Chains A and B, each alone.
Chain A
Amino acid sequence: MATVDIELAGWALDEARRNGASAAEVLCVTAESLAAGVRLGEVEKLKSSRERRLGLRVFCEQSSATSSTAELERDSLGDFVADTVQLARLSAADPWAGLPDPSMHPKSLPELSLADPDSGIVTADRALEIARIAETAALKFDPCMKNSEGAEFSSGRYQVLFVNSQGFSGEYSGTSYSLVVAPIAQDGETMQQGFWYTSNRRFGKLEDAESVGITAAKRAIRRLGARKIKTTRAPIVFDPDMAAGLIRSIAGAASGPSLYKGASFLLGQLGKSIAAPGVTIIDDALIRGGLGSKPFDGEGLPTSRKNLVDKGVLATYLLDCYSARKLGLAPTGNAARSVGEAPSVSTGNLYLEPGLYTPAQIIGSVKEGLYLTETIGFGVNLVTGDYSRGAGGIWIENGELAYPVNEITIAGNLKEMMAGVEMIGNDLNWRSSTAAPTIKIAEMTIAGA
């Protein structure tokens, strides 16, 4: 971290106090990135970025305000801090507001290998070459691969500095690399896009570009000829990405702000069974090199590994300080922070503990049902748990993938869906900060023709 940022952050804290704030926090984020894309083998886009922002939260006793600015010259920053303190005075005194209990700040921070020691920002030429390898592999895979929305490689690095007026100071830096490919398969009049990606904090740990392209092509081709099926009730096998989406919804409903607002179907469920006994969902922010890892949370509290759901029982809520105080519980180190926003709640690396079955065994157990590979839309109601989303996938007949289906919906209630998890796969792979293996849900409504 540049010393200029530490000095600036300290200066901003002093300014806040000088203007009458009783407590304050400063978050500085510096980020740089380069993305390069090809389409049909030709260079299509280059994007380079550089950002440096300062976020502030100030308290005047129990009243608070948050702010952010890109104007980091001391004159304008000084005025901005004064304006923020003034704004805090105008907000209501909230008995639950405030910085964390100072004794909860960590004395030392874990080293989590968030930055690639060997690679920084990948040059445009190299990025284009990688994107081209992936797209070419997709387009060459089969004659029906006739078009493309392109392939893009991006790399970035960022630094985070967080200080508060009760002596906590922490910083970390990280890198990220990703490759996405979106080729299109065509069969007569119909087109289907395939989409696949790889993402890692280490350049060298990305999945091979050629195999990312081939996977994307396969995913496009297997959607060709999709039909609508008759409305029915049937078992649904969620592929790993779809299963990850499901546990993300559970984490959303278990997060403090949803709970204290009364906007969660998991209200009052702590310590109760909310899923089948085989379901254990873990939130671990301390995995070395994990995409969701961080050494401290958005309020300067230690992060941890914990079971969110333990053998089907809701074992903890996910809390920042504010929601913890509201609910009469201890914060869980899940405060998320972006520059200029008040703390919210997020998970670190969230995953469903893998089970014993291979994906083939799970599909093989279904006489007639849906292998779900895509959902579309936002039809998840966390207040009631009601779930209704557009869907696509492959119809299973007698334990085998038979033909693609789309323009259907799947519907149920998250509570019943989680209770209906019958089988859990052994295929856990990390490609984002939330991951899950293949799972099978006993029965849901599928609406079609």
Chain B
Amino acid sequence: MSNELVAPDKFFLNRFGMNHGALERILGSALERKADYADLYFEYRSAEGLGLEESMVNHTSKSVSHGVGVRVCAEDRTGYAYSDEVTIDRMRLAAEAARAIADQRGTAPAAVQVGAPVARHALYDLDSTPLEVPVDERARLLSEIDRVVRASDSRVKNVMASFACERKIVMVVNSDGQVAADVQPLCRLNVTVIADDGKGRQMGSYGGGGRVEWNYFIENDRWREYALEAARQAIVNLDAVDAPAGEMVVVLGPGWPGILLHEAIGHGLEGDFNRKGVSAFANRIGQKVASELCTVIDDGTIPNRRGSLNVDDEGTPTSRTVLIEKGILRGYLQDRMNARLMKMAPTGNGRRESFAHSPMPRMTNTFMLNGESTPEEIIKSVQHGLYAVSFGGGQVDITNGKFVFSASEAYLIEDGRVTRPVKGATLIGNGPDVLTRVSMVGNNLALDAGVGTCGKDGQSVPVGVGLPTIRIDGITVGGTRA
């Protein structure tokens, strides 16, 4: 185990009996039809899950998966083949399948010479991962969560809690001879509560995690905070009245509501959509797309965060990218291929779900920087509107720019005061336009607790979001009360 942590690149060479010479021959074969670039992505993932239902930790699971993906790029074409048998023979077959994308139009490739590992960040060099914590200790925490939630309120009818942890060892070897390897721990604690007051039923969910050790959940009683927060959300919603319908002023609370940025801005700034000209943000760098109060960042280098990576899934170290600076669109999120085709630098945003997927530009941790207003001032400024503090999922149509995100905890604002809770409602807006309506930005930036998963083209990757309290002067709220 400790060897794997010290030198993940050696892990694959030892475990699957590979050496640099063999990798060079496979990459050479991948480039044979005059492709521009090829890479091999090795992955070995171990995961365990525990689940509690009706006061019993009755779900336990574990999995081991491994595989290798061979990618060949020629101009804007990509060939990808993968196998879960990590053998030289399978890799050679995969290289032959992937290289069919190249058509002999490029220049003859130079011989591949595999070098030493490239530099990477050290954002999550943990002493141990939760996988090494005894299962019964993890199970005890879930039972304790169940006890605390049930004791907190008699309206709690059911508690579901789960703890999932994994460790991914990855290695990327490319035809430029670069080798990048990383060990990526990730874990997540989730609590879902069903509350019933005899008149209705509601659900609340909360959780958190990241690339952290087990103790992260224990210190500062984080586990208790998650548990009680899930119960509080369920109970608040028992009193929720019908949500209003129509365009109105909306104040978003700090943290997880940053999903707004992810949907409204983030996806539209991914390099692939902009290279192809299919994003509503295409060709708009340098233009004003937000009020000058807004500066939006994507940062894959925040220690221990769920969305952070030492190197992306193409071996590029992650970075901090300014997407919007004081309202002006500054940058796109790039992987290697789209950066090359757009003559820009890769930003360390080339990510993939697993060896079974080809990488593409994805977000890491996406958030807005602080402004100067206090949260109290922002609420007080609103005569009539909605205050939304917690959200379920969101989605965007990058071509027309329309995006949604669904509030799971929201309140009316009446005469500058937060009043009654309202039922969940979907908010819909237009990406290139919504941030121009931001009229106040709070000084209370918070990142989410570490539960975000982003889906694109059938691939899921862990991400983070963050936001200070902000005021948006008009967005459509999809309630039932017309």
**Do these two chains really belong together in a complex?**
yes
Q: Check: A271 CB closer than 8 A to any chain B CB.
A: no
Evaluate contact between B399 and A192: CB separation under 8 angstroms. yes
Selected A-B contacts with CB under 8 Å, 14 pairs: A47-B81, A49-B82, A50-B85, A65-B60, A68-B65, A71-B64, A83-B62, A92-B56, A94-B56, A184-B278, A261-B160, A377-B428, A378-B393, A446-B482
Q: A49-B82, A67-B62, A262-B158 are in contact. Are A379 and B399 (CB under 8 A)?
A: no
Evaluate contact between A449 and B66: CB separation under 8 angstroms. no
Evaluate contact between A262 and B196: CB separation under 8 angstroms. yes
Residue among A46, A90, A147, A378 making CB contact with B79, cutoff 8 Å? A46
Minimum CB–CB distance for A448 against chain B, Å: 6
Q: Check: A412 CB closer than 8 A to any chain B CB.
A: yes
Contacts A67-B62, A97-B58, A389-B426 known; list 11 others, CB within 8 Å: A44-B77, A47-B80, A48-B98, A49-B356, A70-B66, A190-B400, A267-B201, A377-B428, A384-B201, A388-B479, A407-B430
Residue among A47, A384, A410 making CB contact with B478, cutoff 8 Å? A410
A81 to B481, CA, bound (A): 56
Evaluate contact between A412 and B480: CB separation under 8 angstroms. yes
- CB contact list, A391-411 vs B, under 8 A: 392, 406-411
A39 to B243, CA, bound (A): 43
Query: For residue B478, which residues in chain A have a CB less than 8 angstroms away from its CB?
Result: 379, 388-390, 408-411, 445, 447
Evaluate contact between A147 and B276: CB separation under 8 angstroms. yes
Q: Check: B61 CB closer than 8 A to any chain A CB.
A: yes
A409 to B406, CA, bound (A): 11
- CB contact list, B77-106 vs A, under 8 A: 77-85, 90, 94, 97-98, 100-101, 103
Q: A147-B278, A191-B278 are in contact. Are A90 and B426 (CB under 8 A)?
A: no
Minimum CB–CB distance for A109 against chain B, Å: 28
Minimum CB–CB distance for B254 against chain A, Å: 22
Q: Check: B157 CB closer than 8 A to any chain A CB.
A: yes
Q: Check: B280 CB closer than 8 A to any chain A CB.
A: yes
What is the chain B residue whose CB lies nearest that of A66? B61
Residue-wise, chain B 130-145 has the 8 Å CB interface mask toward A (1 for contact) of 0000011001000000
Q: A97-B58, A449-B476 are in contact. Are A52 and B277 (CB under 8 A)?
A: no
Q: Check: A311 CB closer than 8 A to any chain B CB.
A: no
A97 to B402, CA, bound (A): 46
A413 to B481, CA, bound (A): 12
Minimum CB–CB distance for B400 against chain A, Å: 6
Evaluate contact between A43 and B276: CB separation under 8 angstroms. no
Ranked 6 nearest A-B pairs via Cβ = A409-B478, A377-B404, A390-B404, A447-B245, A231-B246, A379-B426
Q: A46-B101, A231-B482, A384-B200 are in contact. Are A39 and B276 (CB under 8 A)?
A: yes
Q: Check: A5 CB closer than 8 A to any chain B CB.
A: no
A410 to B404, CA, bound (A): 12
Q: Check: B405 CB closer than 8 A to any chain A CB.
A: yes
Q: Check: A80 CB closer than 8 A to any chain B CB.
A: yes
Q: A87-B60, A383-B203, A390-B395 are in contact. Are A191 and B400 (CB under 8 A)?
A: yes
Interface size class of B (residues with CB under 8 A): 35 or more
A46 to B246, CA, bound (A): 45
Q: A51-B356, A384-B201 are in contact. Are A92 and B62 (CB under 8 A)?
A: no
Minimum CB–CB distance for B99 against chain A, Å: 9
Evaluate contact between B157 and A45: CB separation under 8 angstroms. no
Minimum CB–CB distance for A447 against chain B, Å: 4
Q: Check: B477 CB closer than 8 A to any chain A CB.
A: yes
Query: For residue A83, which residues in chain B have a CB less than 8 angstroms away from its CB?
Result: 62
Q: Check: A422 CB closer than 8 A to any chain B CB.
A: no
Residue-wise, chain A 312-344 has the 8 Å CB interface mask toward B (1 for contact) of 000000000000000000000000000011100
- CB contact list, A143-185 vs B, under 8 A: 147-149, 184
Residue among B277, B424, B428 making CB contact with A408, cutoff 8 Å? B428
Evaluate contact between B425 and A261: CB separation under 8 angstroms. no
Residue among B62, B64, B200, B246 making CB contact with A65, cutoff 8 Å? B62
Evaluate contact between B426 and A263: CB separation under 8 angstroms. no
A67 to B396, CA, bound (A): 35
Q: Check: A293 CB closer than 8 A to any chain B CB.
A: no
User: Which of B78, B85, B157, B399 has the most chain A CB atoms closer than 10 A to its own CB?
Assistant: B399
Evaluate contact between A379 and B280: CB separation under 8 angstroms. no
A42 to B77, CA, bound (A): 9
Query: For residue B67, which residues in chain A have a CB less than 8 angstroms away from its CB?
Result: 51, 70
Evaluate contact between A46 and B64: CB separation under 8 angstroms. no
Minimum CB–CB distance for B329 against chain A, Å: 16
Minimum CB–CB distance for B447 against chain A, Å: 22
Q: A45-B77, A68-B65, A70-B84 are in contact. Are A447 and B60 (CB under 8 A)?
A: no
Query: For residue B196, which residues in chain A have a CB less than 8 angstroms away from its CB?
Result: 262
Query: For residue A147, which residues in chain B have a CB less than 8 angstroms away from its CB?
Result: 276-278
Residue-wise, chain B 385-407 has the 8 Å CB interface mask toward A (1 for contact) of 00000001111110110111110
Q: Check: A232 CB closer than 8 A to any chain B CB.
A: yes
Minimum CB–CB distance for B140 against chain A, Å: 11
Evaluate contact between A48 and B80: CB separation under 8 angstroms. yes
Evaluate contact between B158 and A261: CB separation under 8 angstroms. yes
User: Which of B48, B57, B358, B406 has the most chain A CB atoms closer than 10 A to its own CB?
Assistant: B406
User: Which of A232, A392, A406, A411 has the most chain B CB atoms closer than 10 A to its own CB?
Assistant: A411
Q: Check: A124 CB closer than 8 A to any chain B CB.
A: yes
A448 to B474, CA, bound (A): 11
Evaluate contact between B59 and A409: CB separation under 8 angstroms. no
Minimum CB–CB distance for B235 against chain A, Å: 14
Query: For residue A88, which residues in chain B have a CB less than 8 angstroms away from its CB?
Result: 60
Minimum CB–CB distance for A360 against chain B, Å: 27
Q: A90-B136, A381-B424, A390-B404 are in contact. Are A52 and B278 (CB under 8 A)?
A: no
Evaluate contact between A406 and B61: CB separation under 8 angstroms. no
Evaluate contact between B65 and A47: CB separation under 8 angstroms. no
Evaluate contact between B135 and A87: CB separation under 8 angstroms. yes
Query: For residue A263, which residues in chain B have a CB less than 8 angstroms away from its CB?
Result: 158, 194, 203
User: Which of B66, B84, B405 has the most chain A CB atoms closer than 10 A to its own CB?
Assistant: B84
Residue among B59, B60, B277, B481 making CB contact with A445, cutoff 8 Å? B481
Minimum CB–CB distance for A294 against chain B, Å: 22
A412 to B426, CA, bound (A): 12
Evaluate contact between A84 and B59: CB separation under 8 angstroms. no
Minimum CB–CB distance for B249 against chain A, Å: 14
Q: A147-B277, A342-B59 are in contact. Are A383 and B202 (CB under 8 A)?
A: yes
Q: Check: A356 CB closer than 8 A to any chain B CB.
A: no
Q: A379-B392, A445-B480 are in contact. Are A45 and B60 (CB under 8 A)?
A: no
Q: Check: B53 CB closer than 8 A to any chain A CB.
A: yes
What is the chain A residue whose CB lies nearest that of B358? A47
What is the chain A residue whose CB lies nearest that of B246? A231
A45 to B75, CA, bound (A): 11
Minimum CB–CB distance for B428 against chain A, Å: 4
A379 to B77, CA, bound (A): 37
A67 to B61, CA, bound (A): 5
Q: Check: A376 CB closer than 8 A to any chain B CB.
A: yes
